[in-house]
């Protein structure tokens, strides 16, 4: 019989899948309310840098606390350590580096910040608790094709995400305002190249870990980011008459 907590972690993963699908439906009906879509009349908003740093931080801090507060037996195995490191590296970059590279940035609505903060606590606990206590891998799992391909996808996705964010940050020269059409990198093929990178990254993580928990996170990421990407794509088409019509939404050559 499986431990009760393992069943609870599975239930949390299934719930994450359901929340991703539900979130996709809701975001189709209610537009995102941050960045270019935020209403200037909102009373409670969090400065952009502070919002990104604080809302992403639980995905870094919670796993560290989980592992420090328990025996973390499974982390004696190399596959578990590498998979958890993949998760932590992403969120170290997102919470400790990315926010301080933001140039300007519009304040984020408080409720958007709170939802993101709560998700990072939820997912940080789910991924780290599973990998540190219940994920069982053979010692040679790091040579399995699923792990190798998944790790490569994770690394490529993260590099695409970082490079795409760099392009977006440098669209405007000092003193310029307004929006421009992103050029270069995968923005030549899709509207949301940064989102594409993150989807590839977490699909790679899911493949490398071959677990319900990793798969749930990848599905949630795709559902939410694809819906946001559709909104961005429509906005660019309406905003710029010369926006490249051949560009896809998020997946090159597909949609």
**pTM of this structure:** 0.94
192, two tokens? 């949301």
- The closest alpha carbon to 86, from 214, 215, 221, belongs to 214
Domain tally, the chain: 1
State the residue for tokens 């590099």.
159
Question: Does the residue 252 lie in any domain?
Answer: no
Whether residue 120 contacts residue 245, with contact meaning beta carbons closer than 8 Å, is answered with no
Q: What's the rounded Cα separation, in Å, for the pair 219 and 232?
A: 20
Residue 31 pLDDT class (50, 70, 90 cuts): low
Range of the domain at 41: 1-239
What is the structure's pLDDT at 49?
93
- Asked, for residue 232, whether it belongs to a domain, the answer is yes
pLDDT more than 90, % of the chain: 79
Q: Is residue 195 in some structural domain?
A: yes
Is residue 247 included in any domain, yes or no?
A: no
What tens digit of pLDDT does each residue of 144-166 get?
999 999 999 999 999 999 999 99
Of 161 and 253, the one with more pLDDT: 161
Q: Bridge-partner residues for 109, per DSSP?
A: 45
In a domain, 75, yes or no: yes
pLDDT confidence bin for 73, thresholds 50/70/90: confident
The answer as to whether 99 is a domain residue is yes
| 218 located within any domain | yes
Taking the C-alpha atoms of residue 6 and residue 133, their distance in angstroms, rounded to an integer, is 9
131 located within any domain:
yes
């Amino acid at each position: 019989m499986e431990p009760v907590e393992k069943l609870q972690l599975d239930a949390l993963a299934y719930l994450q899948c359901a929340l991703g699908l539900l979130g996709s439906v809701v975001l189709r009906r209610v537009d995102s309310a941050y960045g270019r879509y935020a209403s200037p009349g909102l009373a409670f908003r969090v400065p952009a840098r502070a919002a990104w740093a604080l809302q992403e931080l639980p995905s870094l801090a919670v796993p560290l606390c989980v592992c420090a507060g328990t025996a973390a037996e499974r982390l004696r195995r190399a596959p578990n350590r590498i998979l958890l490191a993949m998760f932590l590296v992403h969120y170290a970059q997102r919470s400790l580096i990315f926010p301080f590279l933001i140039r300007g940035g519009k304040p984020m609505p408080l409720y958007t910040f709170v939802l993101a903060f709560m998700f990072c606590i939820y997912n940080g606990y789910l991924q780290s608790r599973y990998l540190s206590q219940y994920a069982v891998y053979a010692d040679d799992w790091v040579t399995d094709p699923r792990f190798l391909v998944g790790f490569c996808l994770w690394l490529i996705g993260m590099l695409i995400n970082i490079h795409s964010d760099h392009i977006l940050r440098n669209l405007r020269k000092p003193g310029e305002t307004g929006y421009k059409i992103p050029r270069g990198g995968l923005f030549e093929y899709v509207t949301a190249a940064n989102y594409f990178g993150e989807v590839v990254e977490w699909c790679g993580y899911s493949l490398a870990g071959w677990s319900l928990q990793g798969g749930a996170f990848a599905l949630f990421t795709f559902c939410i980011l694809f819906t946001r990407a559709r909104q961005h794509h429509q906005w660019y088409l309406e905003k710029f008459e010369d926006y490249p019509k051949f560009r896809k939404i998020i997946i090159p050559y597909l949609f």
